[in-house]
Amino acid sequence: DDVLGVTPEDALAPFPEEARTEGFTNSAVGLIVSDAYAQAHADLASAIARPLPDWESLLSTHASCQDLQEVMCGESFVASLGAELFRRPLSSREIEDFARIFTSAQAEGLTFGEAAEYALEALVLAPQCIYFLENEGDAVSPREVTGYEMASRLSYLIWQSAPDDELYRAARDGELDAAAGVVHQAERMLGLHAQAKRATERCVRDWFALERLGALMRANVPDQLVADMLLGAVATYQRHVWESG
């Protein structure tokens, strides 16, 4: 939602229900990529790319080239949008690989916008977008977490979403290489309650298995009452976390 403007509800609609591991749906042990899940990813990427609701704005933000037929313009689009989707700057090899999609599509007679749709689809399906990929080093020579990796860790822990511009700036400027910078950003992010409440809402929904509430009620209980009970449970937990001090 924060990168492409696609709402979580729209994004999750085609996916099969996630398996629960010890009550939670985001446990790495239970997050197995089935054939149905992989197909849902492919369908979602295609739906996102053709076309986005605000496609013109996306192009103007990430491809401000004067000549849209220039190879450099395709590379600029990939580097700019890819940095948001991968949550870090792309390597020169990555830019070259994804920009090649532009040249292939345009060689077939597609416009820049149409070629960009294929590039976006490929970026959304790339492992660098879907997963948190970190080179962990080894027991002999462990390495420090990079600023961009720390930005992603903070953002998905506290906001359940991609880093914002301020986090990217802090990563770029080296502020997240120090503990003080990490603490400062964490405090800022927790202060933005609307975003931070995403994580606590998901926690309470999983913790108490609230999505199963309807199945536990008697058959004659109105659906609206079940929905209100669910919202009430979430609101009580949120108030306890965010307003009780």
State residue 110's pLDDT score: 86
The one-letter amino acid code at 244 reads S
Indicate the pLDDT class of residue 189, thresholds 50, 70 and 90. Answer: very high
Average pLDDT over residues 133-151: 82
CB 116, CB 103: distance < 8 Å: no
Check whether 164 has a pLDDT greater than 70: yes
By C-alpha distance, which of 155, 90, 77, 165 is closest to 128?
90
Per 3-state DSSP, the chain is made up of helix, strand and coil in percentages (nearest 5) of: 65, 0, 35
Q: Give DSSP secondary structure letters for 176-202.
A: GGSHHHHHHHHHHHHH-HHHHHHHHHH
Q: What is the pTM of this model?
A: 0.79
CA 71 to chain CA centroid, nearest Å: 28
CA–CA gap between residue 76 and residue 219 (Å, rounded):
57
38-79: pLDDT as tens digits: 888 888 888 877 766 566 777 778 876 745 556 678 888 899
68-121: pLDDT as tens digits: 556 678 888 899 999 999 999 999 999 999 999 988 988 898 888 888 889 999
Per the prediction, the chain carries an average pLDDT of 83
- 3-state DSSP call for residue 243? helix
CA–CA gap between residue 176 and residue 126 (Å, rounded):
26
CB 195, CB 171: distance < 8 Å: no
